[in-house]
């Protein structure tokens, strides 16, 4: 469920984690169990950018040009659930945060 008003996008990793964790507690509850292994321990990953599905029968013409997804992974079995970041944070700010994250990852991989 989306918030009545989305939160501002984070400017730090800690703000990002706090925002996602707050959303998860509000929407999943404090101890959501993985449907596969039963673990209630989850790990939040960095935002991933998924392109719209251009080859599907109905194209998702998303305003950002990508779908920002937050991977939430079961600590025990590795099951991944993706949460649309636009349900948590402001769309324009999500774009800037995801682009900054992508630049940082690229710089890190270049060494």
Q: What secondary structure, in 3-state letters, does the chain show?
A: CCCCCCECCCCCHHHHHHHHHHHHHHHHCCCCCCCCCCCCCEEECCCEEECCCCCCCCCCCCCCCCEEEEEEEECCCCCEEEEEHHHCECHHHHHHHHHHHHHHHHHHHHC
Mean pLDDT by 10 residues, the chain (111 residues): 62 87 90 94 89 58 71 96 84 67 79 70
Structure confidence at residue 74 (pLDDT): 96
Residue with tokens 């707050």: 22
> Exposed, middle or buried: residue 79 (CB in 10 Å: 0-12, 13-18, 19+)?
middle
Structure confidence at residue 108 (pLDDT): 81
Structure confidence at residue 2 (pLDDT): 45
Instruction: Please state, as a whole number, how many other Cβ atoms lie within 10 Å of the Cβ of residue 101.
Output: 17
């Amino acid at each position: 469920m989306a918030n009545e008003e989305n939160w501002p996008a984070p400017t730090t990793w800690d703000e990002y984690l706090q925002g996602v964790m707050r959303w998860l507690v509000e929407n999943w509850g404090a101890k959501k169990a993985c449907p596969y292994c039963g673990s209630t321990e989850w790990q939040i990953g960095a935002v991933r950018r998924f392109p719209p599905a251009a080859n599907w029968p109905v194209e998702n013409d998303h305003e950002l040009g990508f779908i920002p997804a937050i991977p939430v992974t079961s600590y025990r079995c590795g099951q991944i659930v993706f949460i649309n970041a636009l349900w948590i944070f402001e769309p324009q700010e999500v774009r800037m945060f995801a682009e900054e994250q992508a630049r940082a990852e690229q710089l890190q991989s270049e060494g």
